[in-house]
Structures are given as structure tokens and as C-alpha cells.
């Protein structure tokens, strides 16, 4: 049973007008408002230096916001409380374990400080080891563990003290790709099972999509967008988000009878008015390769290069524009550079940025 491992009622967290300026430079974080729902996993995603870690450290109590900013845990104002008074568990990229202690001693460290009785402590260690799939490894030394195992120990140690909130800063970044995927799946399951409020920092969009109930995309100290992974992927609010998550194609053309028309062809777009100039966006995996003689809204181009990726093939297709169209298909086939092909984008896959539907006006 996991019920005795976390606080019963998950906590909400609120950042109110929290900014952070280091020294006399530009602010690392502009004033942000952010609400984390009880029990959700919120992922902070963005390029290096955008302020993810700073935001996490403000929540942890490892940094304090500039004057005026407030941090709330539930109804409690914790703005001035240091980390040890906030009841947070943290997991870092570099494990931060005690290397000359055993697995069990590492996990029990916080429990000892809290003067938990030895028998109870041992039982608790067992529960936690089972939870992170490390049964039987209590007596191993840390330096005899793989990177993935170390990170599992770090997670167990963070959970041992029954934190109200779990904070994870790039916990999987140091691991190789295969291991990262396994741990990502386990972590996903564990976070759901525990129902603990968790904040997860990463620059890896795949990780963000897989783990986040909601994702916050950050850009230069600001929140660019906050929403479900689907929101972020299918309804990006600006070009930064559209290009940071996945790959985005763009075509600019003019409206003609419910299509956006350009020299190489057209894509369907019910919203476009005749003769209006617009830019449409669509994802590589949403482009269908169709026979050249197909009738309907479609694009014609020349294959520039192809990349076989195992489960799919990526094609760069020159349509005479500034940028080639990128196509990803799961169809088995071989396409050759110089080959002329037809492309079609289904209407539901065509996106526009909100607020700038008519670029030509
Ligand atoms: P990364 O993925 O590289 O860790 P990040 O998105 O987590 O990036 P932060 O670590 O929050 O970004 O840093 C945001 C900005 O604040 C950066 O420009 C960084 O150099 C600066 N910064 C962070 N911590 C400090 C500090 N202690 N002193 C001075 N500047 C800092």
C-alpha cells in the first residue's frame, strides 16, 4: 500500500507575482502567476536559461522571490519559509546521494532525523524500495549502482519523508535514452498512483508530454503557454511554442474557396476568406503522401532528401518556398531525391496562430 507514504490530501501551490533578479542583471524570472492544482504533475519546459530551475527553487524555498512575490502552499503563505520548513521532497539530475552509505541508509536518512523507530524505519525502507522497483538492494553501496538505480534511490529518499510536494529537476537527463524511457514510464505510473502534487523541470519535450498533466512552456523568464500536452502541441499560442515542441511546417498563401492557395498547391482552410493572405501550420506526421494525379487540396513538390528512422521515414520536400516541407510517414516505401510527389494535409491538421489570422492585412 502506498497510502502511508504521502500526505493524505494533495496540496495546491500558487505563485503570485513571483519574479527573481540575481545581482544587478536582467531578471531571470519576470513576475509570473502560476497555480498548480492538487495532485497534478506540472512540467516546466523550455530552453536552457529560460527560468525553469529558478521557478522550481522558488517553490522549494531554495530561492526567495523579489519583494512583492508570494508563494502559497494551500492557504499557507510560505514565502519566507526555508526549504526544511516547507515539506518538499526533491530529486536532482545528479542524484545528490551520500556515496559512502548504503541504499537503505540513504533512504532512511530523513527518517532517522525524524527519530522514527528502527523497526518502523526498516519496514518503510522496504515499502519504498518496492515502490521504485529496487527490492532487495537495501544493503548495496551507492557506488555499486547504475545511474538509473541511483535515480530510483533518490526518488525513494525524497518520498521517504512524506513530502507534501515532490520537486524534480531534470531527474532523467543524465541517463541514456533507453533507461530514460523506462524510468519515465515508471515515474509516470508512480506519480499517478501517489496522487502527489509534483513539479517537474525538463528541457525534453517528449518527457514533458509524457509526464505532464499540464505543461508550462517558458521563454526568457516568462510563461509562453500553459495547458495540457495536447493544447501545447495542437494549439500553440505563438511561434516560439509552435517551434519548440515538435516540428512545424508553414505555408503562406491566399484564400480561395475554402483553401489556402500558394504556388505549389493548397491546403484546406475553411476560415480563410477569398484573397486574404494567411500562414497555415501543420505537423510533419499529419501530411499524407498521395498519388500525383489525386484531385483536391494538395501540394506538389520534389523530394530533396529522405531519412529512414525505423518506425517512420522523414522526407524533405521542396515546394519552391523558403523552407522545405517536412513529411513523416509510417508507410513503408522508398522515395528518391528528385522524385516528384503529391502531399495532402487534412483540414483538421491545419493550424493557425491565434490573434494573427490575417497576416496580409
Ligand atoms: P537550465 O536548463 O540551463 O538550468 P533554466 O531554464 O533552469 O536553465 P535557470 O537556471 O532558472 O534556467 O536560470 C535562468 C537565468 O537566471 C539564467 O540566465 C541564469 O544564468 C540565471 N541564474 C540562475 N541562477 C543564478 C544565480 N544563482 N546567480 C546568477 N544568475 C543566475
Could you tell me the CATH number of the domain that includes residue 329?
2.40.50.100
Please indicate whether residue 202, judged by its CB atom, sits closer than 6 Å to ligand 1.
no
Rounded distance between C-alpha atoms, residue 230 and residue 209, angstroms: 8
- Helices 147-160 and 177-194 cross at an angle (nearest 10°) of 20
3-state secondary structure of 194: helix
Q: Are residues 277 and 225 in the same domain?
A: no
Q: Is the torsion defined by CA of 171, 175, 176, 180 positive or negative?
A: negative
Rounded distance between C-alpha atoms, residue 21 and residue 31, angstroms: 10
Q: What is the pLDDT of residues 33-83, one digit of tens each?
A: 999 999 999 999 999 999 999 999 999 999 999 999 999 999 999 999 999
CA 184 / ligand 1 centre spacing (Å): 25
Question: Residue 159 belongs to what domain range?
Answer: 13-244
| Torsion angles phi and psi, residue 280, rounded to 5 | -105, 150
Cβ-Cβ contacts under 8 Å for 52 (sequence gap 6 or more):
44, 45, 46, 201, 202, 203, 218
Q: Where among 244, 263, 281 does a domain terminate? A: 244
In this structure, the residue with its CA closest to atom 5 of ligand 1 is 49
Q: What is the pLDDT of residues 104-134, one digit of tens each?
A: 999 998 888 888 888 888 899 999 999 899 9
pTM score, whole prediction: 0.90
Q: What is the pLDDT of residues 159-207, one digit of tens each?
A: 998 999 999 999 898 888 888 899 899 999 999 999 999 999 999 999 9
Rounded distance between C-alpha atoms, residue 17 and residue 11, angstroms: 20
Could you tell me the CATH number of the domain that includes residue 143?
3.40.50.300
Q: How many domains does the chain have?
A: 2
Say if 258 falls within a structural domain.
yes
Q: Where among 182, 216, 244 does a domain terminate? A: 244
CA 227 / ligand 1 centre spacing (Å): 23
Please indicate whether residue 53, judged by its CB atom, sits closer than 6 Å to ligand 1.
yes
Q: Are residues 274 and 204 in the same domain?
A: no
Q: Are residues 167 and 276 in the same domain?
A: no
Residue 1 has pLDDT above 60, yes or no: no
Rounded distance between C-alpha atoms, residue 218 and residue 113, angstroms: 37
Chain centre to alpha carbon of residue 328: 22
CA 280 / ligand 1 centre spacing (Å): 35
3-state secondary structure of 130: helix
CA 53 / ligand 1 centre spacing (Å): 7
Please indicate whether residue 203, judged by its CB atom, sits closer than 6 Å to ligand 1.
yes
- Picking from 234, 242, 326, the residue whose alpha carbon sits closest to that of residue 287 is 326
pLDDT confidence tier of residue 230, bands split at 50, 70 and 90 = very high
**Over pLDDT 90: what percentage of the chain?**
76
Q: What is the pLDDT of residues 251-269, one digit of tens each?
A: 999 999 999 999 999 999 9
Cβ-Cβ contacts under 8 Å for 243 (sequence gap 6 or more):
none
Please indicate whether residue 93, judged by its CB atom, sits closer than 6 Å to ligand 1.
no
- The verdict on ipTM greater than 0.90 is yes
| Torsion angles phi and psi, residue 286, rounded to 5 | -95, -5
Say if 8 falls within a structural domain.
no
- Exposure of 54 in the CB half-sphere (CA atoms within 13 A): 24
Rounded distance between C-alpha atoms, residue 198 and residue 13, angstroms: 10
Q: Can you give the C-alpha Rg of the chain in angstroms? A: 25
3-state secondary structure of 139: coil
Rounded distance between C-alpha atoms, residue 9 and residue 22, angstroms: 35
Amino acid at each position: 500500500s502506498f497510502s502511508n507514504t504521502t500526505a493524505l490530501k494533495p496540496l495546491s501551490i500558487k505563485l503570485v507575482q513571483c519574479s527573481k533578479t540575481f545581482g544587478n542583471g536582467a531578471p531571470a524570472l519576470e513576475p509570473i502567476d502560476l497555480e498548480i492544482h492538487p495532485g497534478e504533475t506540472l512540467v516546466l519546459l523550455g530552453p536552457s536559461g529560460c527560468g525553469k530551475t529558478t521557478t522550481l527553487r522558488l517553490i522549494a524555498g531554495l530561492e526567495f522571490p523579489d519583494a512583492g512575490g508570494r508563494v502559497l502552499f494551500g492557504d499557507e503563505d510560505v514565502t519566507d519559509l526555508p526549504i526544511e520548513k516547507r515539506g518538499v521532497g526533491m530529486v536532482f539530475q545528479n542524484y545528490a546521494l551520500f556515496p559512502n552509505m548504503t541504499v537503505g541508509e540513504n533512504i532512511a536518512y530523513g527518517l532517522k532525523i525524524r527519530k522514527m523507530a528502527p523497526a518502523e524505519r526498516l519496514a518503510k525502507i522496504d515499502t519504498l524500495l518496492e515502490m521504485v522497483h529496487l527490492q532487495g538492494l537495501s544493503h548495496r553501496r551507492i557506488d555499486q549502482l547504475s545511474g538509473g538505480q541511483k535515480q530510483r534511490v533518490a526518488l525513494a529518499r525524497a518520498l521517504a519523508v512524506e513530502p507534501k510536494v515532490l520537486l524534480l529537476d531534470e531527474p532523467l537527463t543524465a541517463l541514456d535514452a533507453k533507461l530514460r524511457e523506462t524510468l519515465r514510464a515508471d515515474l509516470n505510473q508512480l506519480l499517478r498512483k501517489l496522487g502527489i502534487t509534483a513539479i517537474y523541470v525538463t528541457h525534453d519535450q517528449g518527457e514533458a508530454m509524457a509526464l505532464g498533466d499540464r505543461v508550462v512552456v517558458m521563454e526568457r523568464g516568462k510563461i509562453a503557454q500553459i495547458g495540457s500536452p495536447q493544447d501545447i502541441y495542437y494549439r500553440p499560442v505563438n511561434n516560439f511554442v509552435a517551434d519548440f515542441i515538435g516540428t512545424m511546417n508553414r505555408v503562406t498563401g491566399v484564400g480561395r474557396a475554402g483553401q489556402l492557395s500558394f504556388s505549389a498547391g493548397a491546403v484546406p482552410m475553411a476560415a480563410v476568406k477569398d484573397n486574404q493572405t494567411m500562414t497555415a501550420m501543420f505537423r510533419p506526421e499529419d501530411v499524407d503522401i498521395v498519388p500525383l494525379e489525386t484531385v483536391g487540396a494538395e501540394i506538389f513538390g520534389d523530394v530533396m532528401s529522405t531519412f529512414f528512422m525505423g518506425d517512420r521515414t522523414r522526407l524533405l520536400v521542396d515546394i519552391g518556398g523558403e523552407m522545405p516541407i517536412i513529411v513523416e510517414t509510417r508507410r513503408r516505401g522508398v522515395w528518391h531525391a528528385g522524385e516528384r510527389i503529391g502531399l495532402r494535409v487534412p483540414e483538421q491538421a491545419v493550424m493557425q496562430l491565434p490573434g494573427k489570422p490575417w497576416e496580409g492585412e
